[in-house]
Each structure stands twice: as structure tokens, then as C-alpha cells.
Amino acid sequence: MDMPIYKKLSYIYKSELTSFHMPGHKYGKIYEKLGYDKYMDKLYKLDTTEILGTDNLHNAQGVIRKSQDNTKRILLADMDPVDREALDLLYLVNGSTCGIEAAIMTACKSGSSIIMNRGCHQSAYNACILARVKPIFVKEEIDKENNILMGARPEDYLDAIRSNPQASAVFITRPSYYGMSQDIDQVVELAHEYQMLVIVDEAHGAHFGLSHLLPKSAVYSGADMVIQSVHKTLPSLTQSSILIYRKRALDTARLTSVLSMVETSSPSYVMLMSIEVCYDIYEKSGRVLMQNLMNNIYRFKRGLKDYKVFTTSDPSKIFVNTIEKGINGYDFAKVLRHRYNIQVELSNYSGVLFLATIANTKSDFDKTLVAMKDILDRKLFSVLADFKEDISEHARQERFQSIGSIYRSRPISLDLPVAIPERGMDLSQAFDADKEDIRIEESLGRISGEFVIPYPPGVAILAPGELVDQDLIDFLVRARDINIDINGMESHSLETIKVIK
């Protein structure tokens, strides 16, 4: 076998890529720095399954239970002991996706409804389909200049709770992908008054407890279920996450049962061990490393004085506007990667997002600052014109294919439809219904059979079961003309849309 995945991973590792993307361990550099490589280098030897002595993730009574209890103690060390005792913590090895699905399917039974922000992760929509739950959407706030998700306003959640007292739960995404965090204390309090459970997708907030400069975790706001992706902003292996929940607030037997449906029956002990290693680092070195990171970020942002840097709630998420300098974010990310060997977490048309963690070093920021200044000084709009680096032909070809020619970009107006469309059919019904493809220009009034999610900013402007209106048609025609990325649609050319027959 040619082993193309292994070859690509080896190539990336050997290239010593500067990582401002997940996973949070940054190619294992933090393990080597702190002496944890003695554990992580043995992964293939430690891979096992449920045998005598290794416990069972779906009914943890032994070593997994002990490890989860240790992690809860470390993570909630600042919490009042009585409040801490009211909580429990579970390891997840199917990512936060399975945690979100399990939380929604625990809180909501078939036919019930849930209040959720429109810009939530796809897994929340999927959980509604699987459980036949009706979503009640809260509008997502968007910074139009930078195409950044700001989250849903707390007052809009409060209005939705009062207007929909029959809802079983409230689902909140906090922080957003871009590091924006709203204060949700009042939302949690009101939801509980209406006997609703509160679920928080805190996938990007596993590191919050390491500094007072970061937002507080939703656990401290009284949320009933909080899901964190440990691998995103902390040093564990990809796909490892945790679920923190209030034991008396929900049916724990149902939670266990649902998790057994959506999570693998053969959990990876290597992933479980990486969570354990991660929280050992968290306890022994986390706060010092986070303080060092905050200092590095402060210096980095000061050095970016020629760029416009968006202020995020979480300083470790750094969004830099590039379109103002004449390069759209997609092209800017390509230049950083293929000319300077720096990988960002994501790009949108307006700019690029750096995801920094406690595994990033001062040299990572220094190298990136030099690159950012160089791009402006040399006006690299046609980056291949002066390639003189001594690189292999393979690397040269890869860069050529990936970069092509970068031309000066101009700001564009996306004019996203902001109103949540009228619903013609339940989400789960639309998923099951027979569908057909028709031209977008002829779809007015039809019921959508697929998602329409422009990227940026990654918010669904149409979901299955919702009616197509003229604003949406006008937007899709414009998106087709200016090559905006649309996720969820089967037609990549944006000529047709899938609707209910």
C-alpha cells in the first residue's frame, strides 16, 4: 500500500510547521518540553481494549472512574466543595459531537422543543433530527466587517424562554469559534425558573480555568451540561473531550443510555490516557504556561500595529483583518502556509484566525510577526514571482498548486439574510422526506431539503424544512457570482437547491 496518509503526516511533521491551529498540543512539542514524551512515545504499545483491569468507559467503576474523578478535582479546584460534589465528569472519545448529541437527546424527548442559537454546531442540528426534537432558533449576532460570529445576545435568549415556556432545554454555544463569550448567568437562572435544562457547547473553552483574563466556564454559571473539547485548546489527542453535568438536574440513566448509542463501544484507551496526561499538565504547569502565553500574545498584538486586530473575549483567539490590506483571508492563509510555513486555524474572506494554546512558544509568535511584516513590506500579491528558496521540487509544486497567483482583493458585501425563515415542515420530517433538485431561481416558496451555510461566517441561513424566500435566492445568486463557499448544499456550483418533492 502507498500509505498516503502516513506520508503526508510525516511530511508535515518534518517541515516543522508553526501551528496556530488545533490540536492544542502543537505536534507534541509541549510533551517534549515538559518531559511527557516518555508517556506519549509509547502510545502504540499501550493501545488496548476492555480487558480485566482496564474498566469500561460506559460503566466506569475502576481506573477510568478514578481518572475522571481526578480530572474533576483538578478542573473544578476553585469551586465550592458542595457545588463541586453536585457535578460529575465523563470522558468522551467521539469528540464534543457525541457529547452535544447525548446532552440534547437526554434533555429532550421526541416531540419536545429546544431553544438554540442559530449558529450552533452541526451536531446540535443532527441531534434534533435523531431525537425528533423541534428547534426554536435565536438569532446569531454577526460582525459584518470581519464576518465573525458574536453569539446570540442574552436578552434574545430571555425573550425566547418567556415566549416558549414549553421548551425542554436551552442550548448555548459559548464561546463562539472566534472566541466570543456572552454573559449567560441570567439566561441560566431564567431557564431554571421555567424548568428547562441548560446545555452549553463550550468546545472552545476547555482552557478557561487557567487565567482570570479568560471568560469563566459556563459550569460556574450553573449550566446543567457543559461539553468541552480538550484537544482544541488544551494538550490532548484529537477527538478527546469531556462532559460535565449536574447529577440531580437530569436523568443520569438516560444520559448513560444515550451515550452508549452515539459513542463507540470500543473506546480508545490512548485517547483516554491523553486526557489524563493533559490534566496533569493543567494542574502542574497550566497557570504558568497560560501566563507566559498571555504575555506572548500581548507582545504579538503590539507588533501587529499595521494590521487591524479584532478584540475577542478570549485573548488566545486572535483574528487579524487582512482584506483591509488588500489580501482576502483565504489567500493570506495560503501565503502564510506555503511561503512561511505557518498554519492558521481558519480563514474567512475578511481575515485569518490564530488559535494559540499553552503549547505555543515565543518563537512561534516571533516567526509569525516577521512573516506578517514581510507580507506588507513586499506586497506579496503575486507570491510566486520571486520564489528563490532552496526547496525540493515536490515542495515547490505543492506550493504552486496551493497558492497559484495571489491578486489584490477588494472588500465585498455579503448581505446575509438575517431573518430566520418561516418553517414549513419539522427538521426531522424534512430529513426523511423525498427530495428533488431544482434551479435556485425557481425555488421561491419551496421547502428546503438541505442546509445553506455560507462560510464565512458559518451560520445556517436556511435549514431543512424552512421555506425559501426571495432574500435567500438573491443571496445565493450573488454568492455564485463571487465564489463564496457554501456548506451543506449538494450543488457545489450553486446552480440548484434540494427541496422537498
Give 120: exposed, middle or buried? Use CB within 10 Å, 0-12, 13-18, 19+. Answer: buried
Give 138: exposed, middle or buried? Use CB within 10 Å, 0-12, 13-18, 19+. Answer: buried
Q: Whole-model pTM?
A: 0.92
Decide: 225 and 107 in contact? Cβ < 8 Å.
yes
Which ranges of the chain have pLDDT less than 50?
382-389, 396
**Res 406: pLDDT:** 66
**Res 397: pLDDT:** 52
Instruction: Indicate the SS3 state at residue 424.
Output: coil
Fold entry, domain 427-500: Ornithine Decarboxylase; Chain A, domain 4 (3.90.100)
Fold entry, domain 80-262: Aspartate Aminotransferase; domain 2 (3.40.640)
* Residue entry with cell 459550569: 219
Q: For residues 207 and 228, give the distance between their C-alpha atoms in angstroms, rounded to a whole number.
A: 9
**Res 384: pLDDT:** 42
Q: Quick count: other Cβ atoms within 10 Å of Cβ 111?
A: 12
Angle at CA 202, nearest 5°, toward 197 and 208? 125
Sign of CA dihedral 460, 118, 429, 446: negative
The enclosing H or E element of 485 equals strand 485-487
Q: Domain 4-23+285-403 maps to which CATH number in 3.40.50.10090, 3.90.650.10, 3.90.1150.150, 3.40.190.10?
A: 3.90.1150.150
Domain positions in the chain are 4-23+285-403, 80-262, 427-500
Angle at CA 387, nearest 5°, toward 386 and 390? 140
Q: How many residues does this entry show for the chain?
A: 501
Please list the residues that pair with 344 across neighbouring strands.
20
Give 12: exposed, middle or buried? Use CB within 10 Å, 0-12, 13-18, 19+. Answer: middle
Question: CA-CA distances (angstroms) from residue 274 to 91, 99, 125, 423, 469?
Answer: 11, 18, 29, 44, 48
Q: For residues 167 and 185, give the distance between their C-alpha atoms in angstroms, rounded to a whole number.
A: 19
